[in-house]
Structure 1
Amino acid sequence: MSVGVFAAVLLAAFLHAAWNAVVKGGGDKFMSMTGMAVGHAIPGTAAILLLPSPAPESWPWIAIGVALHFGYQWFLLNAYRLGDLSQVYPLARGSAPLIVAVVSVTALGVVLTGTEVAAILLIAAGIISIGLARSGRANPGAVSAALITGVFIAAYSLTDGIGARLSGSPIAYFGWTATLGGVAFAAFAQWRRPGMVRALPRTAPGAFFFGGSASFAAYAIVVWAFTQAPIALVTALRETSIVFALLIGAFVLRERVDLARIASIFVTITGTVLMRFARS
């Protein structure tokens, strides 16, 4: 992975952590998720209008991607409802790179070096152990929701990676995916809570304005990176956003970080450094 792609994906991971930190304090998780999803449509529409249209062969992948992103959002909300997300969310984010790596090697014919495989394993282990470091036990329902969420993350990562490569215009590709997905989630939210979508700029401004734009920028960078490096490596590196989230929590929000989490961060960073030098 080149220095430019590596740095860009780390920037995307930081942006992902930053918008999560902004909306973290919101008590209404459904409203925050809706604000972020609908907020995607603003930069998404700009990308559609300003950039070349994706190639026709990528449109089926856009449709699949919209459905998978919606499924991810739905099961993530279930994880919020069923358990402590600080326990189950790392399980979702940490399992996704492992799934992507297995599918890439076994089904897509991608060849990964031993060093790259080791880097993916270390990053995934570090992320998952962040959740395991929490005191108490997650209930089976919450763990199931987390693992299903991880499957959706892996599925949309693979779909968007393939679609972006076919599109010839990866940012516009994600512009369409994000905008159509925002419209779909807005319709769902309007059905669940009539009148909520119209009030989002007032009731959830952080999620709608900053969350939507930062989330769009973060994943748009990742979609572009999918066209520059193996999807499995980009997916694993993207999930280091959890480390950035912990650092923001410790140094900005003054949250406590114990020795177990410090060890988890060290393992994840070790995998990140290994990935950087795995392939020129």
Structure 2
Amino acid sequence: MTPLVAAAVLMAAVTHASWNAIAASIEDQLVAFTLIAGGGTVIGAVMACFSPLPEAAAWPYLIASALLHIGYQALLMRSFSLGDFGQMYPIARGTAPLVVTVLAAVFVGENLGGWQLAGVAIASAGLMGVALWGFRGSGTRPHWPALLAALATGLSIAAYTVVDGVGVRSSGTPLGYIAWLMILEGTLIPAYTLYVHRGGLPARLRPYAVRGLLGAAMSIAAYGLVLWAQTRAPLAPVAALRESSIIVGAAIGALLFKERFGGPRIAAAGLMVVGIGLMLRAG
């Protein structure tokens, strides 16, 4: 992993945490993800007009990824509706890197070297430390429905990360791949919301339109950077570095949602930095 690739993934991490915070700030999660998914479809359609069509070999991965992304969005909505952003977001993202490491080794044949494997493991430990400290720091027991929804979200993230890592490499055009992915995945949730609210939908969307469309643009930018990075580095280190967004998410939770941060999360962030350093040394 070169410094340029690492910088792109870190930029994606900040952008990703920011659009998730926008989504979490909208009380009606169905409205939030309708705006983000629908806006992503429109932006993807515009991008598709100016980018090559992905190669035929990429389309099975595009279809599979679109279905996985729809499941991910549904699970993320459920997580945000059940728990605090500063805790659900880290748990959802923190479970993914180690699962991606296993899936990439089994299905893609990417076996990491010792430094890379250590970096992924240490970074993942830091990520999960950020996530799980919330239970200890608050003195409360885990809310199991919220926790299970966040863990399921993490598994869906790992699944689409590997699918997209293979798909974008066979597409011949990262820009075209992300454009068509947004088109394919972005129609179901808006269609469902239209069915549920019918004529009342415009009035529900209007107060949050600017925030939602900004979240859509940030979502595409974040994942586009990740897909580009996946064409230039192994999947597992990219996945682990991408989840540094957890640190950003925890900070956003503390600053905007008045959720606790504290010393243990700072220590966990330090583990994340050590893990990143080991991954860059391996590159």
Contact preservation (8 Å) 2:20, 2:215 = yes
Instruction: State which drifts further: 11-20 or 217-226.
Output: 11-20
Contact preservation (8 Å) 2:120, 2:240 = yes
Matches within 5 A, 1:139-158: 139-158=143-162
Aligned match of 1:173: 177
Pick from 264, 277, 282: which aligns with 1:273?
277
* Residues 35 and 200 (structure 1), Cα distance of their counterparts in 2 relative to 1, 3 Å cut: farther
* Residues 69 and 114 (structure 1), Cα distance of their counterparts in 2 relative to 1, 3 Å cut: same
Aligned match of 2:37: 37
Aligned match of 1:188: 192
Aligned match of 1:260: 264
Contact preservation (8 Å) 1:39, 1:207 = no
- Which sections of structure 2, spanning at least 5 residues, go unmatched? none
**Identical columns (%):** 38
* Residues 246 and 145 (structure 1), Cα distance of their counterparts in 2 relative to 1, 3 Å cut: closer
Give the SS at the match of 2:108: coil
Contact preservation (8 Å) 2:130, 2:250 = no
Aligned match of 2:104: 104
Aligned equivalents of 1:61, 1:133: Cα separation in 2: 36
Could you tell me the TM-score, scaled by structure 1's length? 0.92
Note the aligned Cα RMSD (angstroms): 2.0
Contact preservation (8 Å) 2:165, 2:231 = yes
Contact preservation (8 Å) 1:90, 1:242 = yes
Aligned equivalents of 1:248, 1:81: Cα separation in 2: 17
Query: Given the alignment of the two structures, is residue 244 of structure 1 paired with residue 248 of structure 2, yes or no?
Result: yes
Instruction: State which drifts further: 131-140 or 48-57.
Output: 131-140
Contact preservation (8 Å) 1:237, 1:272 = yes
Aligned equivalents of 2:192, 2:180: Cα separation in 1: 18
Letter of the 1:81 partner, please give it. Answer: S
Deviations 1:107-159 (A, max 9, x none): 32112011111111122111111121112222222222122111110111111
Aligned match of 1:6: 6
Instruction: State which drifts further: 198-207 or 224-233.
Output: 198-207
Query: Given the alignment of the two structures, is residue 223 of structure 1 paired with residue 235 of structure 2, yes or no?
Result: no
Could you tell me the TM-score, scaled by structure 2's length? 0.91
Give the SS at the match of 1:133: helix
Aligned match of 2:82: 82
Give the SS at the match of 1:138: coil
* Equivalent pairs, count: 279
Aligned equivalents of 2:196, 2:153: Cα separation in 1: 21
Letter of the 1:80 partner, please give it. Answer: F
Aligned equivalents of 2:62, 2:211: Cα separation in 1: 24
Letter of the 2:41 partner, please give it. Answer: A
Letter of the 2:94 partner, please give it. Answer: G
Aligned equivalents of 1:231, 1:152: Cα separation in 2: 15
Contact preservation (8 Å) 2:30, 2:77 = yes
Contact preservation (8 Å) 1:186, 1:197 = no
Query: Given the alignment of the two structures, is residue 232 of structure 1 paired with residue 208 of structure 2, yes or no?
Result: no
Aligned match of 2:20: 20
* Residues 195 and 118 (structure 1), Cα distance of their counterparts in 2 relative to 1, 3 Å cut: farther
- Which sections of structure 1, spanning at least 5 residues, go unmatched? none
CA positional deviation for 1:193: 2.8
